A and B are shown apart, each in its own frame.
Chain A
Amino acid sequence: MSTLEFTEAEVAFRLEAREWLAANNPGRLPSMDTAEGAAAHREWERTLASGRWSVVTWPEVYGGRDASLTEWVVFEEEYYLCGAPTRISQNGISLLAPILFGHGTEAQKERYLRDMTDGTLVWAQAWSEPEAGSDLASLRATATRVDGGWRLNGQKTWSSRAPFADRGFGLFRSDPSAERHRGLTYFLFDLHADGVTVRPIDQLDGTPGFAEIFFDDVFVVDDDVLGGVGDGWKVAMSTAGNERGLSLRSPGRFCAAADRLLDLWQTDPQPHLRDQVVDAWIGAEAYRLFTWGTVTHVEAGGSVGAEGSINKLWWSDLDLSLHETALSLLGADAELAGPWVDDYLFSLSGPIYAGTNQIQRNIVAERVLGLPRGGR
């Protein structure tokens, strides 16, 4: 019989995390998308790293604990249940690092991984372009071969964390004669290099959580090509399933949010909202259990492919409906600025980023259910 029981070592790991977090958690910090908040979040990353809690699944040599996936989920549960801050290093740790581990040279890993663990280097993602959103493969920004490296030109947009980050990563068209998925190369670049202009964009919550990035003959050394020249699409997508499936949003976040929703319900238990409160809890519980199923599958040697899209649909819809329920409970006070409104506004982005939910449904239909492609 399979059980939900944890090993002694896993329980010890949980308790160690809980104890350390209780002693060090600064609680809610100012938004990381402000200068003050970004500094505070970097400081928190430094503190996390000092306790070796910033990247628990990484090898010890890069500042991790060689923790198992199970331990990672345990850590995340503890992290969010105690109300610890959002992670300013998330782009680097969960989007870039898996690709560095899989495709990076030893020199690249040496150069970038450690600085990612303690907030020294904060990374921005640079996927979308004005004319390439859901249809990412239509991107137009170019990379032109020059002596010792490349020149980047073009424009990226909706680049998360770019206003206060140090470096970025993204795809550029290195072979102008190739079309769509071919001829793309994955580049790492300095956001403060000559020729880079970052124009912050205020998000719905009024803070510049993303930016446009303009590239005007920006020089990048050969060493900042990640994976092979022309292999950018394959490299970028190599971990997409895992990101949507496991590491992008850990269940701890939603369990903690459902817990806060129950607190709110208890302050004013409105009978007509009861079912919605319960459904938020059920949704978070389902996500927690589903994730343990995924962890079991991956630890037994399985991988997460298109199924990751199922996951993304669930947590993004859950997050939004949970916060809508909270606002319903708050009644007329729901419009007042505060944590619930902040988190609600953030939850509105869930069905859009990391591939819109419409694209995810196409992926589920075509690659999980096996329905015919085409017919957009």
Chain B
Amino acid sequence: MRFGRTPEQHAFAEALDDLLGAAEVAVAARAWAAGDHSPGLKLWQRLAELGVCGLLIPEDLGGMGATAADLAVAFERLGYHGAPGPWIESVAVAPRLLAGTPDADVLPRLASGEAIISVALAARALDADVCERTYALRNRVGLTESNTSGSPPSGSGGSTSGVLPLVEPGERQRAGVETNTVPSATLNHAIVGAEQQSVDPTRRLFDVTPGDEIAAVDPTALDLGTLACSAQLLGAGLRLLDDTVAYVKQRTQFGRPIGEFQAVKHLLADVRVALDFAAPLVHNAAIELDTEAPTAARAVSAAKVAAGDAAYLASRTGLQVHGAIGYTREFDLSLWILKVRALVGAWGTPAEHRARILESLVEGR
């Protein structure tokens, strides 16, 4: 029995840290937010050279043929360093989503970093303006489910198939309660519309409407996206904790570092605890996806809830402990505070994932 990262995965994380640590990622993120993609795209290319873009693409198509566990390692580091761009969509979701479809021809160029792809889980696509292709998912009321919780599933959808809730607001009632069904989805080309502003300025969102249909959605592609989002949240949380710990060691008030005060220590200890217990859930979700475990979708949801909660706690604590300087855009901490807020609700909200977990637990009894 062994549970944890392999030496190769540790080495991969270190290589990513070396590259990203020296790359002025925060500068690239700020430029990205301002509409200047060039530093971010350069970073994209360098990460592609390290194999990040092709992690989930088979070797014969120019990718790495790596595992979901490797993917989680990469996304934790991307989250830690705050790399801007549609990483989840291009690297975690697109390979599986497009495999076996007429659009799979893009995969070799996706692996090499030449092509960037966005996928809209709901009504908006991230960074569609830099993407060669943008896809939208359309819901289709399909699979039946038993409404075992005895209560409205609060728009949860969720099913053994692992499809994330994809119901549009108007469809929620019909899909969730009255017909007792959950949606499955189709993959469509997207018609990109107006830009919308995210709470995280580095996330440039665009309205999309589904265009022509390409194929049915492989739900595992969406679970891979949720896994990557969870890992990114975990990494962002780790970064917020590291930066805050460094700050409280050097910030002096009342003649001593504020890190000496128990009120501060206890807040930060709680963040350490939350992150340390989210990490194994993220790793396990990856392993379950890799081994195609029947509970993989549930494991992914647990990872998303725990990583989101832990990262959010890290962001709230980081902000509080920094005080006013943390509440400024100028200070880089804001990049992670705002990203965490956005990612907590992305790739399925905590409520949706909790509903999916409960349904799976109840079903298995």
Contacts and interface: CB of A to CB of B under 8 A. Distances in A.
The finding on whether chains A and B are genuine partners in a shared complex, rather than unrelated, reads: yes
A281 B256 contact: no
Given A286-B280, A289-B281, A269 B150 contact: yes
Contact of A286 (B306, B351, B358): B306
Contacts of B291: 3-4
Contact of A372 (B1, B249, B266, B284): B249
A274 B290 contact: no
A271 B151 CA distance: 6
Contacts of A285: 281, 302
Secondary structure at the A interface, as helix, strand, loop or mixed, is helix
Given A4-B3, A281-B357, A290 B276 contact: yes
B262 A372 contact: no
Nearest to A74: B1
B262 A362 contact: yes
Contact of B365 (A266, A293, A364, A371): A266
Given A364-B272, A364-B273, A365-B265, A2 B302 contact: no
Nearest to B8: A1
A368 B275 CA distance: 13
Contact of A2 (B3, B248, B355): B3
B281 A371 contact: no
Given A362-B265, A372-B249, A274 B355 contact: yes
Contact of A282 (B1, B4, B302): B302
A202 to B, nearest CB: 31
A252 B67 CA distance: 29
Contacts of B355: 274
Given A2-B69, A4-B287, A371 B248 contact: yes
Contacts of B42: none
Contact of A371 (B259, B278, B302, B358): B259
Interface in B297-312: 302, 305-306
A370 B260 CA distance: 10
A285 B1 CA distance: 17
B136 to A, nearest CB: 30
A138 to B, nearest CB: 19
Contact of B269 (A283, A364, A372, A374): A364
Interface in B235-258: 241, 245, 248-249, 256-257
A20 interface: no
Interface in A311-370: 313-314, 358, 360-362, 364-366, 368-370
Nearest to A287: B277
* Range class of the A interface residue count: 35 or more
Nearest to A269: B150
A7 to B, nearest CB: 7
A7 B266 CA distance: 40
A156 B187 CA distance: 70
Interface string A257-274: 000001000100111001
Contacts of A203: none
A278 B357 contact: yes
A106 interface: no
B354 interface: yes
Given A6-B1, A296-B3, A1 B357 contact: no
B245 A369 contact: yes
Nearest to B154: A271
Given A262-B365, A362-B262, A275 B3 contact: no
A2 B284 CA distance: 10
B5 interface: yes
A283 B306 CA distance: 9
Contacts of B260: 371-375
Contacts of B34: none
A286 B302 CA distance: 9
Contacts of B15: none
B358 A277 contact: yes
A362 B272 CA distance: 12
A130 to B, nearest CB: 24
Given A2-B2, A289-B280, A296-B4, A310 B272 contact: yes
Residue among A281, A283, A313, A365 with max Cβ neighbours from chain B (10 Å): A365
A142 B269 CA distance: 36
Contacts of B358: 274, 277-278
Residue among A269, A278, A299, A313 with max Cβ neighbours from chain B (10 Å): A278
Given A266-B362, A286-B278, A372 B257 contact: yes
B11 interface: no
B187 to A, nearest CB: 29
A376 interface: yes
Nearest to B353: A278
A275 B1 contact: no
Contacts of B27: none
Contacts of A358: 262, 266
B151 A369 contact: no
A62 interface: no
B245 A371 contact: yes
Interface string B1-44: 11111100000000000000000000000000000000000000
B268 to A, nearest CB: 6
7 residue pairs, one from A and one from B, having the closest CB atoms: A365-B265, A375-B260, A289-B280, A292-B3, A271-B151, A364-B269, A361-B269
Given A274-B358, A278-B305, 16 more contacts: A4-B3, A4-B287, A271-B151, A271-B154, A278-B357, A282-B302, A290-B280, A295-B3, A361-B270, A362-B262, A362-B266, A364-B273, A365-B268, A366-B265, A369-B265, A370-B245
19 contacts: A1-B287, A2-B3, A4-B3, A5-B1, A262-B365, A270-B151, A274-B358, A286-B281, A289-B281, A290-B276, A293-B280, A314-B276, A314-B277, A361-B269, A362-B262, A362-B269, A371-B249, A373-B260, A374-B260
